[in-house]
Amino acid sequence: MSSDFLLTSAGSSPSHLKQTIQQAAANAGFELCGIAPVGTFAETNHYSDWITAGYAGEMKYLEARNQEGALKRASLQLAVPWARSVIVCAINYNTQRPYSTQVDDPEGGWISRYAWGREDYHESVMRRLEQVEQRLQQELGQHQIRTRCYVDTGPVSERMYAKYAGVGWVGKNTCIINQKHGSWLFLGVILASLELEPDNPAADRCGTCTRCIQACPTDAFVGPYQLDANRCISYLTIEKRGEIDEHLRSGMGHHVFGCDICQDVCPWNRKAPFTPAEEFQPRQGLVNPALEWLAEMDESAFQRTFRRSPVRRAKHSGLRRNIAIAMGNSGNQAFTPILKTMSKDKRAEVCEAANWALTKLGCASNHSTSPKF
């Protein structure tokens, strides 16, 4: 999902070219657009330290290195040596629906806000980025420039460059936060071989607030601005394969895909605007979805239901494991028959989670341990 272009320049002034980029971004539907230089920032070393500390969990793709052994995402200069500027665009995906912290439904689960939409956000943001790229192609004449677009797919630390592009600051919950738009933002970047006029870095406005850290039910924050993915509900429900540590399950609550708690409680999201983008409007049934409905999906129904959704990343077995844990946390014994059926699932992690849930609900399971394969 990336593209290369050789563009030509007609001698546009830096300020005019910057205005052209920003207007193109606005026309494409982005609320925010900024430009950052390609350089070495303090966060470069922080990222390497984070990986070394093991806080990335099983996400080995974040540890990709170049031939010199340096982490690609930590050093864009080494990963993409021709890049001179990073254009960062952000689009709001917030919709007029309750936050997870406002919902207490013993029959429902929770899918993260970003996955409610009608298509995978990677596709939507990439399509809009390419509109900005095409506008640059029209603007630039004789002078050649190379560009490449990324939406979560390349060796780019989007949040770091978003900060230095003035789009927002990296909050204590490690999300990009904008003073006007809050943190419900998808980021996309365009790497450019031309040194464009940069914006000023965004100021940190978290102050003394620690609500996100205090609200996390699995204590995933080892400190302000420091997330241990191994304990993060989003990581556990999406990226983690196999069984989830028992001591973390109760804290997962009703979450079956992702988590929004650290954003739900952020004061900067109290007045966050709603997106006008149609593709981000919630699909029917995905806001506080019925756990029984989710549990009854077979593999083919899962693929149909989430055909253009990020939820597919959890895989059918992962979602069923998460559903079983959410049922156990619900306190709702009406789920007992479903959990007993799930305790016979062909996937060991689903069986184990179902048996754990039955025990938590005070019900006897059909199997004391997961089957051996």
Please spell the DSSP secondary structure of 299-339, one letter per residue.
HHHHHHHTTTSGGGGGHHHHHHHHHHHHHHHHT-GGGHHHH
- Please tell me the predicted confidence (pLDDT) of residue 368: 45
Proportion of the chain above pLDDT 90, given as a percent: 75
Is 152 labeled as catalytic in the residue annotation?
A: yes
Domain ranges of the chain: 4-95+116-192
Rama region for 192: left / alpha / beta (φ>0; ψ in -120 to 50; rest)? beta
Confidence of residue 142 (pLDDT cuts 50, 70, 90): very low
Mean pLDDT of 310-329: 97
What digits encode the pLDDT tens for the residues 51-86?
888 888 888 766 654 344 445 555 787 788 899 999
Report the pLDDT averaged over residues 129-157. 83
**Which range, of 133-137, 195-199, 263-267, averages the lowest pLDDT?**
133-137
Whether 102 has a pLDDT exceeding 90, the answer reads yes
Whether the per-residue pLDDT at 223 is higher than 50: the answer is: yes
Q: How confident is the model at residue 137 (pLDDT cuts 50, 70, 90)?
A: confident
- Please tell me which residue, 43 or 63, carries the higher pLDDT value: 43
Mean pLDDT confidence for 303-308 = 93
Sign, CA torsion 14/15/21/22:
positive
Query: Tens digits of per-residue pLDDT, 244-269?
Result: 999 999 999 999 999 999 999 999 99
The answer, yes or no, to whether residue 144 has pLDDT greater than 90, is: no
Annotated catalytic residue: which of 120, 152, 204, 260? 152
Q: Which of 38-42, 109-113, 128-132 has the lowest mean pLDDT?
A: 38-42
